[in-house]
Amino acid sequence: MLVTSKYRLATLATKSNVYSVVGSAHNRIRVHAFSTSFWRRTITATPHSDPTKSEAPPPATKQGEQLERFQSLAEANTTNVNRDNDLAKPDRHDLSPAAWAHPGFNFIDMNNVAVAHHEPKNFADKIARNALLTVRWCFDKATGYKHPPPGHEDDPKYIVTDKQWLQRIVFLESIAGVPGMVGGMVRHLQSLRLLRRDRAWIETLLEEAYNERMHLLTFMQLTNPGIFMRGMLLIAQGVFFNSFFIAYLVNPRICHRFVGYLEEEAVVTYTRCINDIEKGLIPSWDNAPVPDIAKKYWKMADNATIKDLLYYVRADECKHREVNHTLGNLKQNVDRNPYAFVVDCGREQPAKDLKSNISHPVGWDRDEIAA
């Protein structure tokens, strides 16, 4: 019994010592925290500051504003898109620098652009031409467009309003941006698969797709298609993309000839639209300004009008006409792309400007291009 009492006393003494040590350690931590806080306030305080008055916050800096903005974004619910947030406003990013800068055209060369037609020379060209006529017929039916025969341009039943023009242009550009992307994608994958260079074809094809998309983005600033139109675009793009993809795998030369014919029709469309504006048939476009995205991409003047925009777009289309007809004349897996892989041979060669288009509106033959 005596041994048990001694054991209890020893246990109580041990617990007392542990509690004492823990308590003293806890107190030391509290004292240390208090002293640290006290000296921190003492050091940061000004010598003559009044403790009864609150100090004015330091002036905001650019880094501080950005930090506060990032903190507010982190606190927001990331599962829901906040449309009031600057990052969600599309108009802040539509004017980003162009991935492919426009080469720039002068008005004299743009004014000399004319309608031109490549005559089919072989069976492959006839296939491409007939395919284009089929697509053109479907396109005209979808947009309600009727091309007037010569001498009937002013006939009331052939007059097109500004809304009808925008509807046709948006439909056209949404389709015209597909071939360049498909061709660039196929050739890109082929280059990866065969472990070799592509002779500079990929760059020009992707640049063409980018240019056509800039056309679409520009005209989308002038109109807002309805649900029916958007549904038609969805179906048309799905059918055309898959058809063109398979065709490009089978015979890319016919595909480039087809795109050349397609661009011929685009030049016809924009030429007629420009003529309608000059005749006063579209009064709402006489002095209408162009969107800012067009001014930045084409480096247009601040007072540019819709007619000026159409001159630039038509010039782009005529250049695509020349490029694709030229590519259709080359050996697809052997020849270089003369528009990107330039060789100085002392005579006129294909170039990105419009001067070569004036002399070769429907493309260059293979024997005209330097080896």
173 annotated among ligand-binding-site residues: yes
User: Domain-by-domain residue ranges, the chain?
Assistant: 107-368
Task: Give the pTM.
Answer: 0.74
3-state SS string for 20-63: HHHHHHHHHHHHHHHHHHHHHHHHHCCCCCCCCCCCCCCCCCHH
Q: Does domain 107-368 have CATH number 1.20.1260.140?
A: yes
Q: Is pLDDT above 90 for 152?
A: no
Q: Is pLDDT above 80 for 28?
A: no
Per-residue pLDDT tens digits for 217-247: 999 999 999 999 899 999 999 999 999 999 9
Per-residue pLDDT tens digits for 260-318: 999 999 999 999 999 999 999 999 998 899 999 999 999 999 999 999 999 999 999 99
Torsion, Cα 229 231 232 235, to 10 degrees, reads: 160
215 annotated among ligand-binding-site residues: yes
Q: Two tokens at 193?
A: 């698969």
> Span 348-354, mean pLDDT?
88
Per-residue pLDDT at 218: 95
317 annotated among ligand-binding-site residues: yes
Q: What share of the chain is helix, strand, coil (3-state, %, to 5)?
A: 65, 0, 35
Per-residue pLDDT tens digits for 108-133: 999 999 999 999 999 999 999 999 99
Q: What is d(CA 269, CA 171) in angstroms, rounded to the nearest whole number?
A: 12
Nearest alpha carbon to residue 300 among 292, 222, 166, 319 = 292
Task: Name the residue with higher pLDDT: 44 or 188.
Answer: 188
Task: Name the residue with higher pLDDT: 207 or 55.
Answer: 207
The mean predicted confidence, pLDDT, of the chain is 81
93 annotated among ligand-binding-site residues: no
Per-residue pLDDT at 2: 40
207 annotated among ligand-binding-site residues: no
Per-residue pLDDT tens digits for 73-112: 555 544 444 555 555 555 554 567 777 889 889 889 999 9
264 annotated among ligand-binding-site residues: no
Residue that is written with structure tokens 């060369």 in the block: 109
Per-residue pLDDT at 85: 54
